[in-house]
Amino acid sequence: MTTTEDPAATLADVRAALDRAMPSHRADLEALVRIPSVSAPGFDPAEVRRAAEAVRDLLARRGLDDARLLEVDGAHPAVYAHWLGAGPDAPTVLLYAHHDVQPPGDVAAWSTPPFDPVERDGRLYGRGAADDKAGIGVHAAAVSAWLDARGALPVNVKVVVEGEEETGSEHLAGLLDAYADLLRADVMVLTDSVNWQVGVPAITYLLRGLVDCEVEVRGLDHALHSGMYGGPVPDPLTGLIKLLAAATDERGAVAIPGLADDVHEPTAEELDRLEALDFSLDGFRADAGLLPGVELGGDPELHPLRRLWMQPNLTVVGLDAPSVAGSSNTLVPSARARLSLRLAPGQDPLRARDLLCAWLRANAPWGLHVTVTPGAAGSPFVADPTGPAFAAAARALEAAYGHPVVYTGVGGTIPFVEPFARAFAADPAHPTPALLTGVEDPDTRAHGIDESLHLEDWRRACLGEAYLFDELARSLGTR
C-alpha cells in the first residue's frame, strides 16, 4: 500500500515536535564537533572513543534503548541503539552514520578552528559538522520527533554509528561477523551522502570503492651531500616521484595494466539517469574551485560525472619528503607516499589492491628497494533505485524539501553499505535496499579546509527522515 496523503498535514504533530527540538539537536551536534575524533593513525584514539561514548549517551537521552558500544578487536568502537516498540510485523530500519572524522589538515588554513563549531551565513563550520556528525543528528532528531509527538514510531529502528569509516572501515569484516544478526534489518538508511544542490534532495544509488596503500622507496642507508654523490648515486625521492607519475597516463587516468579490466559497463538506465541530471560544467568547476585553464582529468569522451562515479582514480594523499623550508642539498635515503585508489562499480577491491601493490613493487626505477604496505579495501556499491523502499524515500524527501529527488552517484566510498546489504538479504542476488541520503551539498567541502553544514538543509534532512519512517511503515508494513 502506498499513500497519497500529504505528510505535512498528517504528520503536522511530528513536524512541530521536530521544529521545537531543533535548537537542542544543534547543541548536540556542536558538542560532537568539539570532540576531535580523527580515526587516522597518529591521532589520539581516546578521542574517537570519547565521541563513541558521547553518541551512545546522546542516543539514550533521545529515547533509544540498549545504547552501547560495539567493540571489535583493534577497531575504534561503533555505537548501537534501537527502538523496537513497533512490533514484529512492522519493518525494521537500520540507520547508519559514523562518528569519526578526517584529520583537519592545515589548521592554520581554516577560517576558524576546525573543532570549534561556528555559524556563518546559515552554515555551521567545523570538521565533522557535516561528514558525518550531522548524519548522527538526523537519526536522533527523526526518532525523537516521533517519540516526543506520539510516544512511538511506526517502524522499528536500529542505529549503528561506525567509528572508522574515514580510514576505510578496516575492521568491517569483524563487525559483520560479530554483529550482523544484531544489525539485521529490512531496509538501511545511510545518512552520509551529498544532495544535488542546496534544497534539492538526492538519493545516491552508486558509490565508488576504495583501496589504499603506503609505498616506501629506499636507496641509501644514510643521507648524502647531493654535490659529493649526486649523479652516480640516484635520488630516492626522484625515484618515488617517477614511480608515482608512471601510475597514471598523460590525462591523469589510472595506467596500471589490467586494473580497469573489471570496470562494469554502465547500463542504459544508469546512463539515462546520468544524462537526466542538470549538470553544469561551469558549476562543477566552480564547486571544485578549479582555476581557469586547468583541464579536467580522465577520458574526455566520457561525461565528467561518468569519470567521477564510474571510473577508477588514483590520488597521492600523503608524501613524506623534506619540507622546502629548512631543506638542504641532500640526497635523502628514502621517501614514502600514501596512495588512495577509488574503484568503479564492478571492481573487486582485493584484486585491485593486489594489482596496485604488485605494480608498485615491480616498477620503481634504478633497482631502488620498495616496501608496499596494503591498507583498507572497500567495495563499490550500485543499487537499482526502484521498488517500494526507494519510492518511499522519494515521497518523504520530496515532502520535506518541497522539491523532487534526483538520483545521483557519488565518487566517494562508504565501505559498510555493500557487505551489509548483502549480509541481510535472504537472497544475495537481491540485497537489502540501502537508501543513501544527504547532509552534504556541493559546497560542504567534506574532508577539506572549512567543512560546513547548510543548517536549513540539515533541518529538511531531519524532517525527511521523520517522514520516511511513516512512508516505510505504509509501503513495507505487511511482510
Q: Which amino acid is at 342?
A: R
Cell 596496485 appears where? 356
For the record, the C-alpha cell of 246 comes out as 608512471
Using DSSP's 3-state secondary structure scheme, residue 314 falls into strand
Catalytic entry in 47, 71, 100, 470: 100
Q: Please say whether the beta carbons of 95 and 191 come within 8 A.
A: yes
Q: How far is CA 65 from CA 153, 182, 188, in A?
A: 13, 13, 19
For the bound state, the minimum distance from the C-beta of residue 131 to Zn ion, rounded and expressed in Å, comes to 4
- Considering only residues 6 to 35 of the shown chain, the ones binding Zn ion according to CB under 5 A are none
452: phi then psi, degrees, rounded to nearest 5: -150, 160
Residue range at the interface with Zn ion (CB under 5 A); choices 43-51, 123-131, 180-188, 469-477 = 123-131
C-beta of 206 vs 370, nearer to Zn ion: 206
Provide the 3-class DSSP secondary structure of residue 84.
coil
CA distance 432 to 116: 38
Query: Does the footprint of Zn ion cover residue 192 (CB under 5 A)?
Result: yes
Residue 121 appears among annotated catalytic residues: no
Site string for Zn ion, 234-273 (x = CB under 5 A): ----------------------------------------
To the nearest whole angstrom, how small is the minimum distance from the Cβ of residue 165 to Zn ion? 6
Task: Report d(CA 411, CA 81) in Å as an integer.
Answer: 30
Nearer to Zn ion, 235 or 440 (CB): 440
In the complex with Zn ion, the residue whose CB is nearer, 39 or 334, is 39
For Zn ion, the binding residue among 28, 47, 71, 132 (CB under 5 A) is: 132
Chain-centroid distance, C-alpha 329: 42
Stretch near Zn ion under the rule CB under 5 A, chosen from 188-196, 210-218, 311-319, 341-349: 188-196
The footprint of Zn ion on residues 351-390 (CB under 5 A) is none
Instruction: Output the smallest distance, CB 166 to Zn ion, in A.
Output: 7
The minimum distance between CB 211 and Zn ion, in angstroms, equals 17
Q: What element of type H or E holds 83?
A: strand 78-83
What is the DSSP track for 388-456?
A: HHHHHHHHHHHHHHTS--EEEEESS--TTHHHHHHHH-SSTTSPPPEEEEEEE-TT--TTSTT-EEEHH
Residue given cell 513536524 in the structure block: 15
3 state SS of 289: coil
Question: Which residues have a Cβ under 8 Å from the Cβ of 240 and sit 6 or more positions away?
Answer: 215, 217, 335, 336, 337, 364, 368
Q: Which stretch binds Zn ion (CB under 5 A): 174-182, 187-195, 349-357, 360-368?
A: 187-195
Q: Alpha-carbon distance 274 to 306, whole Å?
A: 8
Residues in the chain, total:
479
CB of 127 vs Zn ion, minimal distance in Å: 12
Selecting among 132, 164, 165, 450, the annotated active-site residue is 165
To Zn ion, the closest distance from the beta carbon of 367 in angstroms equals 41
State which of positions 435-454 bind Zn ion (CB under 5 A): none
Q: CB-wise, 364 or 414, nearer to Zn ion?
A: 414
Stretch that binds Zn ion, among 132-140, 213-221, 267-275, 360-368 (CB under 5 A): 132-140
Determine if 131 is a binding residue for Zn ion (CB under 5 A). Answer: yes
250-255: list long-range contacts, CB under 8 Å, 24+ apart: 251/297, 251/298, 251/299, 251/300, 252/297, 252/298, 253/297, 253/298, 253/299, 253/311, 253/313, 254/312, 254/313, 254/314, 254/341
Is 451 catalytic? The answer is no
170 is a contact residue toward Zn ion (CB under 5 A): no
* Segment interacting with Zn ion (CB under 5 A) among 67-75, 127-135, 373-381, 429-437: 127-135
Q: How many residues bind Zn ion (CB under 5 A)?
A: 3
Min dist CB 312 to Zn ion, Å, is 20
Q: How far is the CB of 306 from Zn ion (least distance, A)?
A: 23
> What is the distance between the alpha carbons of residues 129 and 441, in angstroms, rounded to a whole number?
12
Active-site residue numbers?
100, 165
**Interacting residues with Zn ion (CB under 5 A):** 131-132, 192
